[in-house]
Chains A and B, each alone.
Chain A
Amino acid sequence: MSDQRIVPIVMPKWGLSMKEGKVTGWLLEDGSRINPGDAILEVETDKIAGAVEAHESGVLRRRVGEPDTIYPVKSLLGVIADPSVPEEEIDRFVASYVTPSTDDDEEEQGPKYEFADTSLGQIRYAKRGSGNDTVVLIHGFGGDLDGWLFNIDALAEAATVYALDLPGHGKSAKSLADPSLATMTAALSEFMEKLGIDSAHLVGHSMGGAIAMHLASEDADKVDSLTLICPAGLGKEIGGYVDAFVAAQGRKDLKPVLEQLFADKSLVSRQLIDDVLKYKRLDGVEPLLKDLAASLFAGQTQQDQPGAKLAAGDAPPALVIWGKQDEIIPATHAGNLPGAKVVIFDDAGHMVFMEKASDVNALIKAHVAGS
Chain B
Amino acid sequence: MARKISMRQAINEALDQEMARDPSVFVMGEDIVGGAGGMGEIDAWGGVLGVTKGLNAKYPGRLLDTPLSESAYIGAAVGAAACGMRPVAELMFLDFMGVCFDQIFNQAAKFRYMFGGKAETPVVIRAMVGAGFRAAAQHSQMLTPLFVHIPGLKVVCPSNAYDAKGLLIQSIRDNDPVIFCEHKSLYGAETDVPAESYAIPFGEANVVRDGKHATIVTYGMMVQRAMDAAAALAKQGVECEVVDLRTLSPIDWDTVIDSAERTGHVVCVDEAHPRCSIAADVSAMLTQECFKALKGPIQMVTAPHTPVPFSPVLEDLYIPSADAIASAVKKSMAH
Contacts and interface: CB of A to CB of B under 8 A. Distances in A.
Interface of A: 16-17, 113, 146, 171, 174, 249-252, 270, 278, 281-284
B196 A278 contact: no
B201 A278 contact: no
Q: Which of B196, B197, B201 has the most CB of A within 10 A?
A: B196
B207 interface: yes
Given A270-B210, A278-B194, A282-B194, A250 B201 contact: yes
B198 interface: yes
Interface string B1-12: 110000000000
A137 B207 CA distance: 33
B1 A113 contact: yes
B196 A283 contact: yes
Nearest to B21: A283
Given A249-B201, A250-B201, A270-B207, A282 B2 contact: no
Contacts of B2: 16-17
B228 interface: no
B204 interface: yes
Contacts of B194: 278, 282
Contacts of A270: 207, 210
Interface string B197-225: 11111001001001000000000000000
A227 B174 CA distance: 46
A281 B1 contact: no
Contact of A281 (B199, B207, B210): B199
Given A113-B1, A251-B207, 10 more contacts: A16-B2, A17-B2, A146-B1, A249-B201, A250-B204, A251-B204, A270-B207, A278-B194, A282-B198, A283-B196
Contacts of B132: none
B112 to A, nearest CB: 23
Nearest to A17: B2
Contacts of B200: 281
B166 interface: yes
Interface in B141-198: 162, 166, 192, 194, 196-198
B110 to A, nearest CB: 29
Specify the main secondary structure of chain B where it touches its partner: loop
Contacts of A282: 194, 196-198
A112 to B, nearest CB: 8
A146 B210 CA distance: 24
A252 B199 CA distance: 18
A146 B1 CA distance: 10
B201 A283 contact: no
Nearest to B199: A281
8 closest A-B pairs (Cβ-Cβ)? A283-B197, A281-B198, A282-B196, A282-B198, A250-B204, A16-B1, A16-B2, A17-B2
Contacts of B199: 281, 283
B205 to A, nearest CB: 10
Contacts of B196: 174, 282-284
Contacts of A252: 254
Nearest to A270: B210
Q: Which of B162, B198, B200, B204 has the most CB of A within 10 A?
A: B198
Nearest to A269: B210
A350 B40 CA distance: 62
A111 B160 CA distance: 27
B262 to A, nearest CB: 14
B65 to A, nearest CB: 30
B204 A281 contact: no
Contact of A283 (B162, B198, B207, B254): B198
Interface in B277-330: none
Nearest to B166: A281
Contacts of B207: 251, 270
A276 B192 CA distance: 14
B246 to A, nearest CB: 12
Contacts of B162: 278
A249 B203 CA distance: 12
Interface in B203-255: 204, 207, 210, 254
A231 to B, nearest CB: 26
A283 B170 CA distance: 11
13 contacts: A17-B2, A171-B1, A250-B201, A251-B204, A252-B254, A270-B207, A278-B162, A278-B198, A281-B199, A281-B200, A282-B197, A283-B196, A283-B198
A2 B200 CA distance: 56
Contacts of A174: 196
Contacts of B198: 278, 281-283
A171 B196 CA distance: 9
B252 to A, nearest CB: 9
Q: Which of A16, A146, A283, A284 has the most CB of B within 10 A?
A: A283
A284 B200 CA distance: 14
Contacts of A283: 196-199
A259 to B, nearest CB: 16
Contacts of B201: 249-250
B287 to A, nearest CB: 24
A254 to B, nearest CB: 12
A17 B2 CA distance: 7
A9 to B, nearest CB: 26
A126 B2 CA distance: 14
A174 B195 CA distance: 12
A284 B254 CA distance: 28
A249 B201 CA distance: 9
A167 to B, nearest CB: 14
Nearest to A146: B1
Q: Which of A16, A270, A278 has the most CB of B within 10 A?
A: A278
Interface string B91-118: 0000000000000000000000000000
Contacts of A171: 1
A113 B3 CA distance: 12
B228 to A, nearest CB: 17
A199 B192 CA distance: 36
A251 B208 CA distance: 12
Nearest to B195: A171
B206 to A, nearest CB: 8
Contacts of A250: 201, 204
Contacts of B254: 252
